[in-house]
Amino acid sequence: MIVFAASDKGGTGRSVTSANLAYQRALAGDDVVYVDFDFGSPTAPAVFDVPDMQRGIENGGLHSYLEGTAPEPARIDVWRRTEHPVLRRTPIGAGRLVLLPGDASGGEFVTDQDSVHRCVDLLLRLNAEFDLILVDLSAGRSYAMDMVLEATAGRELQQVVSRWVVFHRWTRQHVIAAAGLVFAERGLLEGGAERGHDKDALRSVIRFVRAAVPDPDSALWSHLSPAQFAWMQMYDEKLRRLAAELGVGDSVLLGTVPLEPILQWREQLITEEEVVATQIANKETLDAMEAIARRLTEDTHWGQP
């Protein structure tokens, strides 16, 4: 299965959340590959704590591969290469966790027919090998999105299950932006249809994840005044209505990631260790990641019985 992680705006926690989803699926036993198609900002290695490659790898990353200057994109075995103290002990029963980084100095680039071709080859190859392919796309309407829409519209990838997860923060502006990315002119649906996707079919494989959502009931907000608390609840309700109106309501919601202080400081994987031993991360965050990771493959969450 291929899961594309998209967002309209930066700062939605798309990359860090999808990295956590990849981690959770690998823990559950799947062979997982995380593909960094965030071409303008190839920083996935930092999230996985891979040393010497905090910003992608020097050469031979995905930029070089898709542009045709590297024959195969470099792969990083996360369990083996990470400096994260917990991740280095490969958990028993875990699947593989492999990162395909971008080039360290790579930037956004115009994709062409050749890069679409190479993208198809890459996804086919990964699909033969991995249970889950998580593709992190550049924010907004991007060349990366164009490329994967075109790649998945082709005959070769038709039999491979693809799903889309659109990340957005829980604010008015972000909700509008996320809906726009999917439904507006030159959005995901229209762009997909132009490249040969069936609009309804494509729509049925898009779900939304709300990230960095403040939960008024959590301990984090225990100091709130009653007025503040009431306002938050009222506004939360208002946002829900807005989201529903715009087509990004609860019926297409895959999950919600609570506001997690440590993620505000440092994009990283949330492990059991951070929650139980050092207690620097919240259990709710870990639970949310686990739940969303599980739902990626649970058909009931994708409108299928």
Partner 1 sequence: MTDVFRETAAQPRTEAVPLSHLSLELGHLYMEDLADGRKGLRRHFERVRPWADAARADLAARTTGGRPRMSTCFLVDDYFSRFSTPADLLPLVLEEAERAGLVIDYLARESACAVADKVPLAQAVAGRLVESPPPGSYGARPPVSESGWLANGQRSPAGRSPQAMRRAEPWQPPSETNARRHSVFVDVELWDEDKDGNRTWSCPFLAAVWQLARLGLLRNEGEAVLRPRDASLGELPVEWDELPPLVRLNADADPFSAYRTCSVLPARFLSVEHAVRVILDQTDVDTGAVAQISRRTDNERQPMPGSVVERVSYVFYPEP
Partner 2 sequence: MTAPPDTAPTVLACGEVRTCVLPSRRPLDSDAAAQLLQLRADERVLVSKRPNLYVLSPQTLTGVDCRLPTANGAKVRVVGTVAVRAALTEGRILQSSAYFRTPAQGPDRRRPWGHYLIRPGVLEPLGRLPESAAAQGVLAGGRPGELDLGLIADGVLTPLVRHPLLDQRAPLKSRHTRLRWAALPADPGQGPAIEEFTLAEDDLRTVRLRVPAGTEPAAIAALCEDFALHDWLLTTVVRLLDGRLGPVEGPDALTALRPAVEHLMHLWMPRARGDRTLRALWDVLEHDPGFTRQWDNLVQRVRDRLALLNALPKQPVAQPARAGEKT
Which residues form the interface with partner 2 (CB under 8 A)?
1, 25, 28-32, 60, 71-72, 77, 92-95, 120-121, 124-125, 127-132, 155-157, 159-161, 294, 296-299
Q: Which stretch binds partner 1 (CB under 8 A): 61-69, 77-85, 224-232, 263-271?
A: 61-69
71 binds partner 1 (CB under 8 A): yes
Strand (E) or helix (H) holding 32: strand 32-37
Quick check: 112 binds partner 1 (CB under 8 A)? yes
What's the closest the beta carbon of residue 145 comes to partner 2, in angstroms? 22
Taking alpha carbons only, the member of 86, 51, 22 closest to residue 280 is 86
Work out which of 51, 92, 93, 113 binds partner 1, going by CB under 8 A.
Answer: 113
Q: Shortest gap between Cβ of 28 and partner 2 (angstroms)?
A: 5
What track of x and - describes contact with partner 1 for positions 224 through 263 (by CB under 8 A)?
----------------------------------------
Residues 72-111 that bind partner 1 (CB under 8 A): 106-110
**Taking CB within 5 to 8 Å according to partner kind, which of partner 2, partner 1, none is near residue 120?**
partner 2
Dist. CA 265–CA 277, nearest whole Å:
19
Query: Residues with Cβ < 8 Å from 39, sequence gap 6 or more?
Result: 62, 63, 102, 106, 107, 108, 109, 138, 142, 143, 144
Q: Residue 133, SS3?
A: strand
Strand partners, 158: none
Measured at the alpha carbon of residue 196, what is the angle toward residues 154 and 181, in degrees to the nearest 5?
Answer: 110
